Amino acid sequence: MLKKGLVQVYTGNGKGKTTAALGLALRASGHGMKTFICQFMKGYEYGEVRSARMLGDLVRIEQFGGESCIPLRYPPEQVDVDRARSGMQRVREVLDSGDYDIVILDEILCAVHFMLVPEDDVLDLIESRGGNTELILTGRWAGDAVIEKADLVSEVKEIKHYFTHGIQARDGIER
């Protein structure tokens, strides 16, 4: 449906990167566009997974992470690397199919940072995607090469966060 797909990056240490990408998927569905969301490093059933089911075939989310979300181990465990590789393979299949107008790689930049996915694989996806597929990358720590290839880069900066006051993740807001 898009004449020309672009590459968008949502990065930074603030809250709202995934939310921005999901908002784009919701907006696109209002125009009959189909979005595929690959969640790297997430395996928990967040609210967006439940709500995507309500949108039928317009928004599909597949997860390629464990229940604990972000593996904070160097080097990463092989099971986490294998999940991320499976996610990258699935994204390639989706991009090759041409079935989706928008493809979101949620937390892919974190997956690169934690050595689950080589940055070169992400750069290859950017180069090899179809010309009319919008590609969205989210996560902290966007590398210079990804920023250079992107058409839009938004940095979400934390100024103040209630987590520092002991407020935990809440259903419907953070998960």
**Domains observed in the chain:** 7-165 (3.40.50.300)
Q: pTM higher than 0.85 for the full model?
A: yes
Output the average pLDDT for the chain.
93
Task: Classify residue 16 by its DSSP letter.
Answer: -
Cα separations (Å) of 106 from 9, 32, 51, 99, 155?
10, 21, 16, 19, 15
pLDDT tens digits along 7-40: 999 999 999 999 999 999 999 999 999 999 999 9
pLDDT value, residue 69:
62
